[in-house]
Amino acid sequence: VHRSMVSTQKSSSVRKHKRRRGNWGGSFMLFFLYSSSSALHSLTRGFTHSPTSSNIARRFGSKICWASPSPSQILDAVDSLKVDPDGFMERIRENNEPGMTPDFLPFFVDGLSLGHIKPSFAEHLRRFPDVFAVTSDAVSLSPELASLEDRSNAVDKATRALAAEGVIQGWRDEPYAVKPSFLAAPSLHVDRGAAACFGVQAWGVHVNGYVDGGPGEGLLMWVAERSATKPNYPGMLDHLVAGGQPAGLSALENVVKECGEEAGVPAALARGARPVGVVSYAAVRPKGLARETIFCYDLPLPRDFIPVAADGEVARFRRLPLERVAALVSATRAVKPNCNLVLIDFLLRHGHLTPDNCPAYEALAAGLRAPPPGCFAPN
C-alpha cells in the first residue's frame, strides 16, 4: 500500500512536471529578441527538450545536445535571472528521475545488498547459474564464491560473455570496486562499463569554493564552465572542483588532488576544505539504477584567489553572489544536474533558504538524500 503510494505520487508529479515543460518547446529564438529578466527567466526554464521519455535519457545521459540559450549564454546574462521558488525541487526530482521504473531486483553478495538489477538484465544472468542465483525477488552471487578474487573472476567471465554479445555496452577494461560503504573493503570487482548494469553505488567529491564578502556583500561562489570538449555535460556549469572518487585515495586527498588539477588551488589552501555532509541521488538510466553519494566540502577562499583551469577541463571560472547562484540553480538547467544538489545543500546550510522563506524547505532537505531503493519500485 504505502510503496505504491510513493511511486504513484512520484510519477504523477513527474507527469505534471513534463506537461509544464512541454509548453516552451521552440521558443528559444525569443531569447535573442527580449532582454528583460522575465523573458530570460521563462525561456531558461524550458530550454531543454520536448518531454518524451527518450529525451530524459538525452538530457541526463552521457551526452547532451544543447538548444540555445547555452549555459554559457545564460551565465553571461546571469544578472537578469530571477530565483524560481519551485525550481529547487524540480532540480532534485530531475536527479532522481524515476524514468521507466522497472521493478529492480536487489543484488546480494555474501548477504549484503550491493546493487539493483533490471529484470531484463537479470534474465541474461540466469544463463550463468554457477555465478548468479536469480529468483523473482533477488539476484545473489553464488555463496560458493567466497573470496574477492573468486567472485571477481567468475563475474568477469560472465560479463565479458555478455559484452561480446552486445548485452553489456561500453566495456572499459577497468575494474570497479563494489562495496557497501565508502570505507568498507570491496566485496567484488566488476568492469566499470558493467557496473551500471548491477546498479552499484558510486562516490564523488564536490567542493563549494567561496569567498565571504562580509556583512554587506554576503557570500560569493566560484562557478566553473565546463569545457565544450568534455565527453559528459560539455559546456555546463560546475563546481570549482568536483570529481569521482578513485580507489586508493582518501576523500580529502582526492579533494586536494582535484583542487590542484582542475582549479590551481595550492595544496595548503585545499587542505582547508571542510567536509560538511552528503547528498545522494538515485536515477533510472537505460542500463539500470544509477546511485551516487557525493561528499560535499566547503572551501573558504581568500578574496584575491583566482582559480586557474590547469588541465583544460574548464573553459572559464566566474565568481557570483550567492543570490545569482540560487537563480541559476532554480530558474535554469545550465548547471550540471548533480551540482544542483550540492548547491541546494549549500543554500540550506548557509541560511540562504530558510524555514520561513522557502515553502519547500523540508521537502528539499529530505530530497537531498536519496530514499531507500525500495521506494523506486513501481506498485
Least distance in Å: CB of 347 to a copy of itself?
A: 10
Nearer to a copy of itself, 9 or 232 (CB): 9
One-letter amino acid at 373 equals P
The residue length of the chain stands at 379
Is 283 within 8 Å of 97 (Cβ atoms)?
Answer: yes
Least distance in Å: CB of 4 to a copy of itself?
A: 8
The span from the CA of 174 to the CA of 188, in Å, is 13
Residues that bind a copy of itself (CB under 8 A): 1-3, 5-6, 9, 103-106, 113, 137-138, 181-184, 250-252, 274-278, 280, 293, 295, 348-351, 353-356, 358-363, 365-366, 368-377
The span from the CA of 223 to the CA of 205, in Å, is 16
Least distance in Å: CB of 20 to a copy of itself?
A: 19
Is 288 within 8 Å of 196 (Cβ atoms)?
Answer: yes
Is 377 within 8 Å of 117 (Cβ atoms)?
Answer: no
Is 159 within 8 Å of 168 (Cβ atoms)?
Answer: yes
Please give the backbone phi and psi of residue 178, each rounded to the nearest 5 degrees, phi first.
Answer: -100, 120
Least distance in Å: CB of 112 to a copy of itself?
A: 10
Nearer to a copy of itself, 167 or 252 (CB): 252
Nearer to a copy of itself, 188 or 282 (CB): 282
- Rounded to the nearest 10°, the torsion over CA 11, 15, 65, 120 is 40
Least distance in Å: CB of 63 to a copy of itself?
A: 29
Nearer to a copy of itself, 46 or 204 (CB): 204
Nearer to a copy of itself, 75 or 219 (CB): 219
The span from the CA of 101 to the CA of 195, in Å, is 18
